[in-house]
Structure 1
């Protein structure tokens, strides 16, 4: 963001409004000057300006070398003398110096001296007459100091006089108005914009709450400025398309999982009928992995639709059933199995089938990657967690977060699709808990499912 091109809509509006106001006022000033100039050149403005002679004399009077009064030969004075054939005036100061020109009307000869204590007087031939005036008497400040000028009222206003008057008018009248308008704009515009954009802020807050597990959310267009409504509607349309695409994706996974269950069950039955041996063991492991994967996919879909229907479940009972189901497979792969519950009954709120799938996946992971030696230990703690540990090579610290990402494998070409631990993490997320790697007792891999609350613990 720069001062010339700010990204903030508020300050863009403020800057443009101030610029617009300055432009309008400047155009107004130029227009007024053009009108004044047109009136001047047409002669309308310059006719019968009663103070013309006095203004010219005021600018021309000064002191001579002896301290007396004299007139500088200014262009305005020369024009005044050429335009007015009967020009007359008397200039005097308080020290008795006097300067005059032309024929002063006899009735006015003695008036100036009688008006020493009067700042300004207007002279006419008839009592009560206001226009036209016969003369002016005024004390003014000039180059010669304070002097009294008495003169006639003939003449036109000069261009110099107009120019001399314009800056004070601008500084004393127009400039304060411009400053007041600019200040009002700076103060009022942010408030007005903030009020106008309040609905947009609400829509932004709603957008922040959109998550993959909270679909069907639409941004509200209430109080949103009309100009922004098309954008909000476009976002809502995009969210709708994403929701439909996600639903199609879910249906595909669910349909695929359902379709795979039957051939996997047939495959498992046929493998079980084979003669006992290493090849049969490996085939049974592969079939079990496929069974676990399809079950996890179906459970994820069901939990996503019924995530608010969790019920109390017994972690010890879940772990016992999983150990009993997978113990034969672990023994056939060369492992010992150990089950260590801290209590007989440890309850949490959850979905029993999905938790059995998640724990089955952890045990299956230990069977696949535990090195086919040592003991696979399943522990259930009063604090509300289950962990599965093996005596294999362990998981490097740098990769303990990455292993929960979909399709991630510690070893390229390893067994499995790389989805098992990701599914475990998603199931724990739906339960409000977490799946993590912890330090194992023997240095092997140790994965723990931690639940947010324990309903009860009975020793």
Structure 2
């Protein structure tokens, strides 16, 4: 627009309009009512700045006063200047002495029409200056909107997205029924949230069908396994009775599958004494340890209460001790340290590259006639369900240390019987 306006204008420079208020302020009336010019500070400065200054002032009665070398071409304006209110006269050739401005101005002598020539101004500069001054507030407003208002608006409009992101972070294996809320999300994102909720629903249905199948299969296996155990134990042939080891392995596998299923369906959380639970597990397993010609020891450094399902944690400790008996050395030590339990043996140990894989289902270090490969997987599943952590490391004198760490008991459950 500036370039277009500059190109359309072809009249050359014109006189700055700011001279007419200065001239009007210096014109007064003498004792006879005629117009006279008194030298003011502003007019003196204007005359010093513009040596070619000239002007004509005329009141409504036709009385005139002037200054400087008024071009003879403007003599015809005498007596008619008072009929004009505003205008610009611009000549085409340098030094542009005929360029003049006409303005109606108030003065100490009353309303006057002033025609004058002063400092010249190019149109392009004036248009550029006017457009810059006009655009500056707009630019500042855009900066404020861009750096202040826009982030606030975006943050407010996407507050629902941040909320569903926090909800999504809380969805896990223990909260499969949870869904993302659709109330406060933008309309454009609502279809995505509904699609995610539908996908979560389908995953829950598939997980539930799989869980029911595993539980049903494990439960149905218990009866034929029990019948086989009775028949094998009563068989007269030694070779048949040796099948009892394999049947025991099947029974243990079925029970561990049921343990995994019970974690989701029969969860009972309470606060209990961890040291007392460890001593009970050691006492229950003592006959098995003695029969295997092993020793077991319980060391309590300092004990704290733990919150969770006591029966599930008891199965964790039982699996760890049985694993130490089957794969460890001659002695097993259970050490209680606050809310952590260590099961240490003096066996051959577990290679570092296998210490994460042993928690995978059905993974075994070496082919054995016993063991299902689900024990440590069950341990990890239960510990993670309690918000804890299980790790395996080397023992000081050789062997393996399985360490289980539980979070501190929540205040709401503290001292619960």
Structure 1 residues 196, 450: closer, same or farther in 2, change over 3 A? closer
Give TM-score, length-normalised by structure 2.
0.64
Contact persistence 2:325–2:332 (CA under 8 A): no
Match of 1:362 in 2: 320
Residues 154-175 of structure 1 deviation map (CA, whole Å, 9 limit, x = unaligned): xxxxxxx8767643443333x3
Contact persistence 2:308–2:386 (CA under 8 A): yes
**How many angstroms apart in 1 are the aligned matches of 2:127 and 2:282?**
95
Match of 2:44 in 1: none
Match of 2:208 in 1: 247
Q: CA deviation at 1:452?
A: 4.6
Match of 1:206 in 2: 167
Match of 2:330 in 1: 375
Is 1:336–2:290 an aligned residue pair?
no
Match of 1:322 in 2: 285
Give TM-score, length-normalised by structure 1.
0.59
Match of 1:294 in 2: 254
Residues 202-248 of structure 1 deviation map (CA, whole Å, 9 limit, x = unaligned): 11111111111111111112221111111111111111111222211
Gaps of 5+ in 2: 16-48, 55-62, 103-121
Match of 2:224 among 249, 254, 263: 263
**How many angstroms apart in 2 are the aligned matches of 1:382 and 1:127?**
108
> How many residues of Structure 1 are paired with residues of Structure 2 in the alignment?
340
Q: CA deviation at 1:416?
A: 4.1
Match of 1:130 in 2: 84
Q: CA deviation at 1:349?
A: 4.8
Q: CA deviation at 1:352?
A: 4.9
Contact persistence 1:358–1:424 (CA under 8 A): yes
Contact persistence 2:268–2:309 (CA under 8 A): no
Is 1:230–2:191 an aligned residue pair?
yes
Contact persistence 2:324–2:332 (CA under 8 A): no
Match of 2:27 in 1: none
Q: CA deviation at 1:195?
A: 0.9
Contact persistence 2:298–2:334 (CA under 8 A): yes
Structure 1 residues 96, 171: closer, same or farther in 2, change over 3 A? closer
* Residues 417-456 of structure 1 aligned to structure 2 (within 5 Å): 417-440=372-395, 443-452=398-407
Gaps of 5+ in 1: 1-28, 41-45, 47-51, 60-92, 99-110, 153-160
Structure 1 residues 358, 264: closer, same or farther in 2, change over 3 A? farther
Structure 1 residues 123, 351: closer, same or farther in 2, change over 3 A? same
Q: CA deviation at 1:353?
A: 4.1
Residues 423-444 of structure 1 deviation map (CA, whole Å, 9 limit, x = unaligned): 1121233344443324446523
Q: CA deviation at 1:181?
A: 4.3
Match of 1:85 in 2: none
Is 1:179–2:139 an aligned residue pair?
yes
Q: CA deviation at 1:375?
A: 1.9
SS in structure 2 of the partner of residue 423 of structure 1: helix
